[in-house]
Amino acid sequence: MTTLCCTHSYNIPKNDEDRLKKLYRFDILDTLHENVYDRIAKLASDIFGTPGSLISFVDQERVWYKANTTSIPQRETPRQDSLCSLAILNDGPTVFQDTFLVPELDSHPLVHSDIGIRFYAAAPIRTFEGYNIGAICVVDYVPREVTEIQITMLETLAAIVVDQLEQRLSEKNNHIILDDLMEKTIHNLKSPLSAIKSLSEEIPKSIEDSESVIEMAEMISEASTSLITGLNELKEISKIENGNIEIHLQPVNLEEILTKVMVNFEKTAWNKGQNITLAINTNKEIKADKLRVREIFDHLLSNAIKYSYPNTHIRINVEEYQNKIRVEFCDEGQGLSDSDKGKLFTKFARLSSYPTARETSTGLGLSIVKMLVDLHQGKIWAESEGKDKGSKFTVEFPVRIRLGK
């Protein structure tokens, strides 16, 4: 039923270095009292009918108490003086029904002192990776017997503590990501905003020069478009990550959508002397969200134009492969390095390639594409033989997709 730990009162797990790294990642040490942990500790006491309980975390040289309802007055104890240092040595529960009957505890300060702990039961706080970073324990000052049900419930409470820690870590990481996202977005938007401000100040000075006014108006339009695109992409990626985007399935004719996409970028490609061709080698349709599929293709064709050299050829191929539909965007542009391939679909990725006509880029487009493709249970990948050898982006959709689990 239980594990009677009879080890030396102070011992170090073999994985202590990695265990401590995981503990420090949670950033829980020396934090203020939190009701959720106090309630878990009280529940443990209620289950066993004991006067005291602890939620402890074992640091390098101390054991720190996140929750403490015992007669131990301080919030931490030297590691060598703590019973919780023993509890983390075991994968299962540690139980001393009567500490006076455990020879290894003959001189333990928490047993033979004014505190006088006679009963101790603990379940390790075990992370998903298998590191015992602390323990939830109950204590009494008289001997006690325990039941299987009590021990099982104590282990459940320890698992709940781990869930709380993981949730806390996830929320912290989300805040870091959001702060990073905002910082980079603000940085990306500063340039078009500065251009708008500068050009708007120049217009009154050039009002008699119609060509200058037209040129500056076009530049303002481009800067404004860049700003709007950046804000829209930021809003889009936020909706996807927060699960606030719905996919409406319907039959999708890829030739129809791709033709519209090509028409939409016809002028942009023409300005760079680029030629776009479309080859359809299947008559099958996919079942997908028409608007989201078009958004995927818009991003991919925009990138192909943006990062390809003037007077080059961009090919879009659609073909069937093992009951899946593949759409390929092939360009004769700058290609991809091995380093580029490793970070292509991450937010704000900085690649070795750059827009060939000083176009702007927020660094969010491909990450949005990846998320939208994933929502359709599809795949996306990129291939390139190296720098200046062009690249091919392939999106693969199942002919029939099933949303949910």
Question: pLDDT of 257-301, one tens digit each?
Answer: 999 999 989 988 999 999 999 999 988 888 888 888 998 999 899
**Angle subtended by helix axes 210-241 and 365-375, to nearest 10:** 40
- Res 182: pLDDT: 59
- Res 53: pLDDT: 95
The distance from CA 396 to its chain's CA centroid, rounded to whole angstroms, is 24
SS3 assignment, position 389: coil
312: pLDDT strictly greater than 80: yes
Q: Extract the tokens encoding 206.
A: 């050039």
- Res 118: pLDDT: 93
Please state, rounded to an integer, the average pLDDT across all residues of the chain.
82
241: pLDDT strictly greater than 70: no
- Res 256: pLDDT: 92
- Res 7: pLDDT: 42
- Res 186: pLDDT: 59
Phi, psi dihedrals of residue 394, rounded to the nearest 5°:
-120, 130
Tell me the residue ranges of DSSP E strands in 13-166.
52-58, 62-68, 76-78, 94-96, 119-126, 132-140
Angstrom distance (rounded) from CA 161 to CA 236: 35
Domains and CATH numbers, the chain: 16-166 (3.30.450.40), 246-405 (3.30.565.10)
108: pLDDT strictly greater than 90: no
- Res 365: pLDDT: 73
Of 145, 139, 5, 157, the residue nearest 72 (C-alpha): 139
User: Quick one: pLDDT band at residue 401, thresholds 50, 70, 90?
Assistant: very low
Q: What is the mean pLDDT of residues 93-119?
A: 88
Q: Which residue is it, tokens 């200058």?
A: 212
Angstrom distance (rounded) from CA 29 to CA 34: 12
Of 325, 347, 333, 324, the residue nearest 301 (C-alpha): 333
216: pLDDT strictly greater than 70: no
User: Quick one: pLDDT band at residue 193, thresholds 50, 70, 90?
Assistant: low
pTM over cut 0.75: no
- Res 38: pLDDT: 92
Angstrom distance (rounded) from CA 63 to CA 136: 12
Q: Are 154 and 47 in contact (CB under 8 A)?
A: yes
2: pLDDT strictly greater than 50: no
Percent of the chain with pLDDT over 70: 74
User: Quick one: pLDDT band at residue 127, thresholds 50, 70, 90?
Assistant: very high
403: pLDDT strictly greater than 50: no
Lowest-confidence segment of 27-31, 187-191, 260-264, 386-390 by average pLDDT: 187-191
3: pLDDT strictly greater than 60: no
- Res 158: pLDDT: 94
pLDDT digits (tens, 9 = 90+) for 135-180: 999 999 999 999 999 999 999 999 999 998 988 887 766 656 555 6
> Strands 52-58 and 62-68: what pairing?
antiparallel
